[in-house]
Amino acid sequence: MIIGVISDTHMGDRVDKIPKEVYKQFSDVDIIIHCGDLTSKSILDELNDMAEVIAVKGNMDHLELPREKVLNIENFKIGIIHGDIIYPRGDLLKMKYYSLEKDLDVLISGHTHIPLIKEIKIPELNKKILLLNPGSPTVPRFPLKTIMKIEIKNNMIKPNLIPLQIK
């Protein structure tokens, strides 16, 4: 299973289009997760042409989307949020507690526009939580525009941050 992950596209309010490389990178994915701040239904339509899209509502969205979603994929319980319910923005401790409360193995969020791959070990519970954020392919708060792909295979999960080569 290969999952494409994208967030904070801000179509229409900050940019007119998604970089073409996103579509190239997502050409082999089984599903696409959008972590909110789509700001336009057109991005959902475009991504849905490639694969099933699972999206959550961001703080800038007016679309009828859920605020959070939980998926069970190949023995992993994966939570998806935009991240605006975590304050301050990107607080790792609060993301850890949110994940524990929901009994998640993986929490995928956006909102910060900064990519993140962080494994948190909780030895007293014999548990690990993987925190992921794909950054933004359009308006990053990081030197690079980024997306992410996650490969789930043989009971292992492997996230891969993809910097976009935009000319």
In this structure, what are the phi and psi dihedrals at residue 38, rounded to the nearest 5 degrees? -70, -45
**Percentage of the chain exceeding pLDDT 90:** 89
Distance CA 108, CA 148 (A): 10
Question: Options 3.40.640.10, 3.40.30.10, 3.60.21.10, 3.30.1450.10; which CATH number does 2-163 get?
Answer: 3.60.21.10
Q: What is the pLDDT of residues 53-67, one digit of tens each?
A: 999 999 999 999 999
Query: What global pTM score does this model have?
Result: 0.95
The residue type found at 152 is I
Q: What is the pLDDT of residues 66-100, one digit of tens each?
A: 999 999 999 999 999 999 988 888 899 999 999 99
In the chain, where are the structural domains located?
2-163
Say whether pLDDT at 16 is over 90. no
